[in-house]
Amino acid sequence: MATTKNNTLKLKFDSARKYAPALESKSAATIDARYDLFINGKFEKPQSKKYFSTINPATEEKLSEIADANAADVDKAVKAARAASDKYWKKMPASERGKYIFRIARMIQERARELAVIETLDGGKPIRESRDFDVPTAANHFFYYAGWTDKLAYAFPGKDPQPLGVAGQIIPWNFPLLMAAWKIAPALATGNTVVLKPAENTSLTALKLAEIIREADLPPGVVNIITGAGSTGAAIVNHPDINKIAFTGSTDVGKIIQRAIAGTNKKATLELGGKAANIIFDDAPIDQAVEGVINGIFFNQGHVCCAGSRLYVQESVYKEVVRKLKDRLETLIVGDPMDKNTDIGAINSKEQLNTINKYLKIGQKEGAEMYQANVEIPSKGFFCRPTIFTNVAQSNRIAQEEIFGPVLTIQTFRTDDEVIEKANNTPYGLSAGVWTDKGSKIFNLTTKLRAGVVWANTFNQFDPTSPFGGYKESGYGREGGLHGLAPYLNLG
């Protein structure tokens, strides 16, 4: 009987996975063979004379060559940004500045398809995700902050908000275009000029944004986009004529940056790592919660700082939740990110795949039980099966450290106090999720969980109007919403 049931289940899963391919066309995207640095409104060759390759992590094929900026290039970009601040941007009426930002938003919408395709080719995330989330949300950030440009006096009543000057901005590889938008839109709205560095693995959409900014006819030097690796980022951080550092990335690099700017006048916002708890109470709508957990950790390959990577389930519904999660895991489609059916695309780089695999070994060594979906993964490219660990102890490294991959740990709890203590027991505090039917429980937990964002009966929801940021080692400062304006302003 059990075998028949399993066979039926297997058949169901196999047919679920065999959708006809629905490939997005690459024709919408033009990728040049080589990209230079965007400084002072023009694309310029790097003084380093060096370039590095960017590849498609789903196929390991080279897509383009990207300029590697050195300290002299950074200096040139900072000088251009300073001159643009003094000559144009600070002096321009706020409503005029707003028009440029609106224009960028509209042009992102017009080129949405191209941007989504390039984001997926360069970074490995499913096209559905780039098309339906990354690109529209990036445009929305520019729309939202364009609206604030001439209303800063209302945002900060009784104050005289003034721009800081030149902002140095450094971003990671998991949401390349969206992170660029999170950084550039509020900086421009508040009258600052920008030197931005995308991550080495995913520079292409930031360079496309540079093209858009050039076409939008922003005064030269207001936005400079320079590419390179960690040393380029360090040169931005250490440049003496930068007024503010906005960084999103790992906690380790965040600490290096904090040390580098200590004792200077540079202001900083740091958005760092996370290890979010997703909490299911026994009165929660279980099917909805299971879907929320899947969405919270497996979509986008777990490459999300606020991913719900630790699941806490109330004991009485533990078995049911684990069974439903495993069933759902089997139906996830892992593979070509350009296929519109794909749920889980490519891991961003070989190094990141190695890190995830290292944690899979650590988890098993620590005595946790590993369950991986029985799905085929492509032989080329960097892919990882969605993975669940049960029998996890709170002190296990897989429950404490950020893995940044499609890996979920599951633990149980009995009482509210117990789960609050467990959820807060990590060095991070970026986000959390609560699934329950009771409003009182939601209020109790949201006030006690030390996390910058707590979602209730949903997960990974973003909106330009909501502030986002961390507690503890997840960083400080807020991005998004009205809160996201203040870190770019001198409020007197």
Choose one: 54-62, 112-120, 232-240, 372-380; the region binding ligand NAP (CB under 6 A). 232-240
- The Cα 304–Cα 300 span in angstroms is 7
Q: Which parts of 430-469 interact with ligand NAP (CB under 6 A)?
A: 430
Check if the beta carbon of residue 469 is closer than 8 Å to that of residue 139.
Answer: no
| Geometric angle at alpha carbon 43, from 37 and 46, rounded to 5° | 40
Coil vs helix vs strand at 189: helix
Using CB under 6 A, count the residues that bind ligand NAP.
30
223 sits near ligand NAP (criterion: CB under 6 A): no
Coil vs helix vs strand at 413: strand
273 sits near ligand NAP (criterion: CB under 6 A): yes
- Residue 4: count other Cβ atoms within 10 Å of its Cβ: 8
122 sits near Mg ion (criterion: CB under 5 A): yes
Choose one: 135-143, 227-235, 375-383, 481-489; the region binding ligand NAP (CB under 6 A). 227-235
Per annotation, catalytic residue among 24, 44, 119, 305: 305
> Judged by CB, which is closer to ligand NAP: 147, or 230?
230
200 sits near Mg ion (criterion: CB under 5 A): no
Compute the least distance from the CB of residue 272 to ligand NAP, in Å.
5
Compute the least distance from the CB of residue 166 to ligand NAP, in Å.
16
- Order of strands across the sheet with 37-39? 42-44, 37-39, 223-225, 193-197, 166-170, 244-248, 267-271, 475-476
For ligand NAP, which residue of 233, 302, 464, 477 counts as binding (CB under 6 A)? 233
Choose one: 47-55, 331-339, 355-363, 431-439; the region binding Mg ion (CB under 5 A). 47-55
- The Cα 66–Cα 197 span in angstroms is 12
- The Cα 453–Cα 441 span in angstroms is 16
Q: What single string gives the DSSP state of each residue in 253-300?
A: HHHHHHHHHTTSS-EEEEE-----EEEE-TTS-HHHHHHHHHHHHTGG
Over the window 80 to 119, marking each residue x when it contacts ligand NAP by CB under 6 A and - when it does not, the resulting string is ----------------------------------------
Choose one: 132-140, 167-175, 318-326, 484-492; the region binding ligand NAP (CB under 6 A). 167-175
C-alpha dihedral sign at 420, 398, 253, 135? negative
Strand 475-476 with 267-271, pairing: antiparallel
Catalytic residue numbers read 271, 305
Q: Residues in the site for ligand NAP, rule: CB under 6 A? A: 170-174, 197, 199-200, 229-230, 233-234, 237, 248-250, 253, 256-257, 271-274, 305, 402, 404, 430, 470, 474-475
